[in-house]
Structure 1
Amino acid sequence: MIDPKKIEQLARQVHESMPKGIREFGDDVEKKIRQVLQAQLTRMDLVNREEFDVQTQVLLRTREKLAVLEQRLATLESRATDTAPKAVIKTEDPQ
C-alpha cells in the first residue's frame, strides 16, 4: 500500500506548482488532487519500497536453497549411477 503521507506530500507539491488563480480555490483543489492520486496509484497496484525489499530477500533465500537442493540432487544421482549394478552382456559361445 502507498504511504498516505507521501500522497499528501505529492498532492501539496502539485497544488503549490499550479498557477496562483487555481491555487486560490484552496483546500478543495488539494483534496481533489489527493483523491485522484490515491485512485490512480491504487489502480497501478504498486508496492512500497519496504515490501519490495522484503520480497527481494525472500527471493534470494529461495534461490540459495534451490542451489543447495540442486547440488544435493546431483550428488545423489551421481552416487546412484556409481553404485548401480553394471549390465552384463552375454554373448553366445560359438561351439
Structure 2
Amino acid sequence: MLDPKILEDFGAKMSALLANTPAKDIEKNAKAMMGGFFAKLDLVTREEFDVQAEVLARTRDKLTALEARVEALEKARSGQ
C-alpha cells in the first residue's frame, strides 16, 4: 500500500513544479483578464441578490397587507 507521506511529497513537488511553469502565468493572466471583464459588467454577487430577493418578498407582503387594508376601509366607507 502507498504511504500517505509519499503522496503528500509527490503532490507538493508537482505543485512546486507547476508554480514555476508558464501555465501558472497563463492562469494568473486569464484570471486577471476575466476579473476585469466581469468588473465591467453590471453584475451582483449571489449574497447581494439573495438580500434583494428577501427585501422584495417583504415589500410584496407589506403591499398585500396594505391593499387588503385599503379595501376594508373602502368597504367600511361605502357602507356608512
- Tell me whether the two structures share a fold, i.e. TM-score over 0.5: yes
TM-score by length of 2: 0.66
Tell me, yes or no, if structure 1 residue 67 matches structure 2 residue 61.
no
Structure 1 runs of 4+ with >6 Å offset = none
* Structure (1/2) with the larger helix percentage: 2
1:81 & 1:72 partners in 2: Cα distance?
14
TM-score by length of 1: 0.56
Which structure is larger by alpha-carbon Rg, 1 or 2? 1
Question: What amino acid maps onto 1:65 in structure 2?
Answer: K
Percent identity (aligned) = 42
Q: Which has the higher relative contact order, 1 or 2, with Cα contacts under 8 A spaced 6 or more apart?
A: 1
Question: What amino acid maps onto 1:33 in structure 2?
Answer: A
Tell me, yes or no, if structure 1 residue 58 matches structure 2 residue 44.
no
Unaligned regions of 5+ residues in structure 2, if any? 1-20
